[in-house]
Amino acid sequence: MTNFNYSIDTSHGPMDGYITAQPGQARPGIVLLPEIFGINGAMRLAADQFSQAGFAVLAPDLFSQVESRVELGYTEADRERAIAIWQKMDDSVALADSRAAINALAADPRCNGEISVLGFCLGGKYALLLAAQGGILASVSFYPVRVNDYQEQLITLKCPTQVHVGDDDAHIPPPVLDVLTSALSSSETNELHLYAGAGHGFFNSVRSFGYSPRAAESAFTRAVAFLNRHQGT
């Protein structure tokens, strides 16, 4: 496949990635952490969208610890395969790989060394866990999964954190929304945005279901403003 144009050194060998940046001066960086379907067309589209907003964006192939260059669609068979790979993943390896991507992007000449993370779904989970670890300027999480599994780690978020969820997301019922609200209340720099009528995956315009154009547009505008606000802090 030719959709991966970057290589990142990790503890388990080279990890592919997709990088995109507008020409010209070095720009603030975003490490974009994908949904469970890998660095597919939807994730490259999202990376390009944030690149066009003025960022150098690197999307690492976090599935590579199990299987490299996974690009899945949204059929039931693809969903089952995605879940099977996800179940084999080690979160500690995924976080170490995310950190390797952060370091690689910070050293890339297209980036000015200022790094934030942004994730969707499974990547949204890792974006929150990286916020709890620190060492990044900011974290943006779209509809993170399995929040209850790591809620204790969210007690102390070490960077400004923004979360986007729909009020019709089965992965984020009211008790989980309460967990997120409590975690984000620790600092006035944190933000939680709830979108009426939107479900899981509302940002993904490639899927034939779940996409909410109004919520996606609003979330994108808020995410860009949030990331810009915390550059150089």
- Which residue has tokens 């940046």? 21
Task: Give the pLDDT confidence of 135-146 residue by residue, as tens digits.
Answer: 999 999 999 999
Pick from 45, 46, 72, 57: nearest CA to 6: 57
Q: Which candidate, 129, 144, 69, places its Cα nearest to that of 99? A: 129
Residues 220, 164: Cα–Cα separation, whole Å: 10
Dump pLDDT digits (tens) for 149-162. Answer: 999 999 999 999 99
User: Each residue of 166-186: pLDDT tens digit?
Assistant: 999 999 999 999 999 999 998
Please give the Cα distance from 38 to 132 (Å, whole number). Answer: 23
Query: Which sign, positive or negative, has the C-alpha torsion 14, 20, 22, 26?
Result: negative
Instruction: Give 183-230 pLDDT, tens digit per residue.
Output: 999 899 999 999 999 999 999 999 878 999 999 999 999 999 999 999
CA distance 212 to 199: 8
Q: What is the CATH number of domain 6-229?
A: 3.40.50.1820
**Average pLDDT, rounded, for the chain:** 95
Q: How confident is the model at residue 233 (pLDDT cuts 50, 70, 90)?
A: low
pLDDT tens-place string over residues 85-143: 999 999 999 999 999 999 999 999 999 999 999 999 999 999 999 999 999 999 999 99
pTM score over 0.85: yes
CB 143 within 8 A of CB 171: yes
Question: How is residue 2 written in tokens?
Answer: 């030719």
